[in-house]
Amino acid sequence: MSFKADTPSVLFVCVKNGGKSQMAAGLMEKVAGGSVTAASAGSKPGSAVNALSAEVLAEVGVDISRNVPRRITAEDQNQADVVVILGAEARVDEIPGTRYERWDTDEPSDRGIDGIERMRLVRDDILARVITLHATLTTA
């Protein structure tokens, strides 16, 4: 796979850019250690990062607590090698030349699991997907 820059880049997108996409970008930065660039954005950004998302990432050494949700732009997509859309609700107008993936992540609340336990399960699901994506972007 050829990349748009020296370092492969991933843009993670969800609706509010307050939870899943922020978690995915933070986890990719930790996993990649500089070998992949990660960013996040939302289709309809909220006002703040989800506190439980920040808390469960802090448990694994990732700090997203000061991040600010922002709206996705065409430039974001043009710069990214891969745009990962998290969840069924997020909508993105796809741009030619950029690879898109949709991750239908685990939703523990469908099984009656809420709060911090829900967010840990979401984190772990996203982490497993991030590790797989990182491997595909960094293996020749």
Q: What pLDDT, on a 0 to 100 scale, did the predictor assign at position 140?
A: 62
User: The sheet that has 99-103: what strands, in order across it?
Assistant: 37-42, 9-14, 82-86, 99-103
Q: Identify the helix (H) or strand (E) that includes residue 117.
A: helix 115-138
Residue with tokens 């990649």: 32
Question: How sure is the predictor about 120, in pLDDT bands with cuts at 50, 70 and 90?
Answer: very high
Q: Is there a contact between 61 and 46 (Cβ–Cβ < 8 Å)?
A: no
Domain-located, residue 2 = no
Residues 6+ apart with CB under 8 A from 96: none
Segment 7-38, tens digit of pLDDT: 999 999 999 999 999 999 999 999 999 999 99
Q: What is the arithmetic mean of pLDDT over 72-92?
A: 94
Beta bridge partners of 100: 83
Residue 64 belongs to domain with CATH number: 3.40.50.2300
Percent of the chain, pLDDT > 90? Answer: 89
Predicted confidence (pLDDT) at residue 1 exceeds the cutoff of 80: no
Domain-located, residue 55 = yes
Domain-located, residue 30 = yes
Domain with 57, as residue range(s), is 9-138
On whether the pTM is more than 0.75, the answer is: yes
Q: What pLDDT, on a 0 to 100 scale, did the predictor assign at position 68?
A: 97
Domain-located, residue 125 = yes
- Rounded to 5 degrees, φ, ψ at 47 are -100, -15
Domain-located, residue 43 = yes
Domain-located, residue 15 = yes
CA–CA distance, 35 with 115 (Å, rounded to integer): 33
Structural domain count, the chain: 1
Q: What tokens appear for 9 in the block? A: 């880049």
Predicted confidence (pLDDT) at residue 73 exceeds the cutoff of 90: yes
